[in-house]
Structure 1
Amino acid sequence: MNKKRSAIANCDHRQGANTIDPGILSSLKMRHLSLLVALADHGTTHRAADALNMTQSTASKMLRDIEEVLGATLFERGPRGLVPSPLGDFAIRGARRQLSRLRRFADEFEVLRAGGYGTLTVGAITGAAPDFVAHAVAEIKRKRPQLMVTLHGETSEDILAQLEVGGLDLAVGRFSTERHRDIFDFEPLADEHLAFVVRADHPLADKGITGLDQLDRCAWALQPRSNPTRQVLEAAFDRAGMARPTDTIECSSILLLLNLVQVSDAVALLPKAVVHAPIRAGLLRAIQIRPAVLLTGFGLVTRSKEGLSEAALEFCDILRTRAARYAAPAQDAARDVG
């Protein structure tokens, strides 16, 4: 059997081998990896070829070469174009990871070449960013003024997807799927407390409301269903035997959601770290629902079995120190917002 064709078991098991010769991988170039990603992103050979400035015939031949090297069918043709096979999905994730690492290597190399002091790219969930990660970033910048720091504030699902493919050095968030436990290391940092909030002059602001059942007819400004805060709220309604809200505005932007609450009658459930400043400024009021609503704790997330740069290691130490100090300020904020 041809050495290339025996490299790895095919998706439909037409090849009998189940291992790949590492030497064969030397024939895969960055151009091949870029093609895999382009095919996944664009769905057709024609559009992928255009994105990479090559002919469709060249792209088709490159895909055949890749599949021959790996001994597996990576894409199947479907009614809407190319559909990755299970092994194709795996190969695409690997290609994204390698390309991301190469880009970050090039960026950091350019920073160092220009006389800088390296880069640090961090992802953080919204609830951890305002008074946790921001302080840690400020501290490392005091210690390393020339360090180029980039922050990405998204949901855990989004930032861990970036972390997996090498787009981040580390993340502050929480696992959103069981698969994350296999590919990441997690170190707890702090709990995430939530607050029910309304605009400052909302009719409910001075009603002394303490039960969720008193909000059953309210309009709501909600995050998407995939967001943990939304899931916690819906679970609270379910436990109380109440129908889930139907008069809703769904918004993925925390900033826009805060603005919506300030100009409407909607109630929102948001991280206390996010609403602390607007409450202090008199823009929002907290409704003291009991029992309090709490998300599972967030923590430091890194890729398993992969080393960190000196700057990233120092940032992790700063986060740990910040976590040790975080409990008291969090309790103070909790008292302030109810």
Structure 2
Amino acid sequence: MSDPFFARIRELKFKQLLVFERVVELGSMHKAAEVLHMSQPNVFKIISQLEELLAVPLFERSSKGVVPTEFAQRLLPRIKPMLGDARAIGEELAALRSGERGQVVIGTLISASARLLPDSIALMKQRHPHVNIVVREATNDLLFPMLAVGELDLIVGRVPETSPPGVSYHALYKEQLVVVARACHPLAKKRRFPVAALLDFPWILPTSESSVRNRVEHFFSQHRLALPHNLIESLSMLTNVGVLRQSDTLAMLPRTAAQLLIDDGTLCQLAMAEDIAFGTIGFGVRAHRLPTPTCAAFIAALQKVAQALSTRG
């Protein structure tokens, strides 16, 4: 690249990159203007300045919004870590300034979203009521890239067998899987039944990207059984509970996620002749980076709740 081009790169401003990132994510200059509390003409002007500075087109305009060009798609992953670091700096300065304000963005999996995470959020809000908490629920294949670029402060859920590069995992407690059904299910009152009897009923399983799905497949494979043919695939806890309550459908859930539903009589745990190991529940953060004060406070809440859950189990 020529020296004049490097000179233009040095003229890039943080605000230009922030506006660019919002326009790409939202697919609309109008929506980006609303989120950033700016006028649409101002957003258009900043994008035009950025295109002129970089000497490439970044968006194709249409009646439905804007579509990022190949140049924009290459630029976005380069600037996301910069914006993530800038947000972390802002959160840290805000926390140091007031001791109570800031934001923590959490990625989570089904293994933590039903009990560990809600209890931790409640405790965090008791301790730090003015901290903003954002939760993103997805599978690890989506969460890991978000953590890597700073869109997430931490991931809470089952610790993977192999940590991806740049992620440091910390264990909280061991988790088991339980087979659950409605209280009046035909298998609910039985003390013993063959594992093959589970295949006589419909099943809800997570999608193939889920760590719970992998353990369920391993369980049936150990017993030399195929997966159930009458199958619903869903990651929605609300949907799954609704189906379980009104049918003879079965599901396998992390014990702590199922316990509240078992305690209030919504579901029952089937009597299995063996424990079904799920793995270690913990949290992952970006390696070699100190968490922001708000993130560190949330980790402390996680550890407190996890200790109570593991003691009860």
Query: Secondary structure in 2 aligned to 1:231?
Result: helix
Change (3 A) 1:291 1:147: same
In structure 2, C-alpha distance between the alignment counterparts of 1:128 and 1:313, rounded to whole Å: 18
Q: Is 1:190 matched with 2:179?
A: no
Normalised by the size of structure 1, how large is the TM-score? 0.69
Q: Distance in 1 between matches of 2:30 and 2:160?
A: 34
What amino acid sits opposite 2:157 in the alignment? G
- The equivalent residue for 2:20 is 35
**Alignment CA distance shift 1:198-1:305 (3 Å):** same
Partner deviation per Cα, 1:100-138 (whole Å, 9 max, x = no partner): 55567778888999x782124252433334443444444
TM-score using structure 2 length: 0.74
C-alpha separation in 2, matches of 1:184 and 1:312: 15
Q: How much has 1:316 moved relative to structure 2?
A: 2.5
Distance 2:45 2:308 in 1: 60
1:186 Cα deviation after fit: 1.1
Task: Say what the alpha-carbon RMSD is for the aligned residues.
Answer: 4.1
The SS at the match of 2:269 is: strand
Q: Distance in 2 between matches of 1:242 and 1:146?
A: 50
Q: Which runs of 5+ in 1 are unaligned?
A: 8-20, 76-80, 331-338
Matched residue SS, 2:229 = coil
* 1:255 alignment partner, SS class: helix
Partner of 1:268: 251
Residues 1:167 and 2:151 aligned together: yes
Q: Structure 1 residues 48 and 286, CA, compared in 2 at 3 Å: closer, same or farther?
A: same
Cα distance in structure 2, aligned partners of 1:134 and 1:51: 30
Q: Measure the CA separation in 1 of the matches of 2:193 and 2:272.
A: 4
Asked if 1:126 is matched to 2:93, the reply is no
The residue identity in structure 1 corresponding to 2:299 is C
For residue 275 of structure 1, report the CA deviation from its aligned partner. Answer: 1.6
Shift of 1:197: 0.8
- 1:306-333 CA-to-partner distances (Å, cap 9, x unmatched) read 2223343243334334444443212xxx
Aligned length in residues = 298
CA contact under 8 A between 2:91 and 2:103: conserved in structure 1?
Answer: no
Structure 1 counterpart of 2:2: 2
Could you tell me how far apart the structure 1 residues matched to 2:213 and 2:45 are?
A: 47
Match status 1:232 vs 2:232: no
Q: Which moved more, 1:285-294 or 1:317-326?
A: 317-326
2:199 matches 1:216? yes
* Correspondence 1:294 to 2:312: no
Change in 2 beyond 3 A, CA 1:159/1:39: closer
Q: SS at the partner of 2:164?
A: helix
**Which runs of no fewer than 5 residues in structure 2 stay unpaired?**
34-39, 60-66
1:152 is aligned to: 135
1:42-65, Cα deviation, whole Å (9 max, x unpaired): 4xxxx6799675799995884574
2:104 is the alignment partner of 1:93:
no
More moved, 24-33 vs 253-262: 24-33
Alpha-carbon distance in 2 for matches of 1:304, 1:277 = 34
Q: Which letter maps to 2:151? A: G
Q: Secondary structure at the match of 1:249?
A: strand
The CA distance in 1 between the partners of 2:271 and 2:136, in whole Å, is 28
Counterpart of 2:265 (choices 277, 282, 285) is 282
For 1:205, the aligned partner's letter is A
Cα distance per residue 1:228-257 (max 9 Å; x no partner): 112211232233332222211222211220
Whose relative contact order is higher, 1 or 2, with alpha carbons under 8 Å and at least 6 apart?
Answer: 2
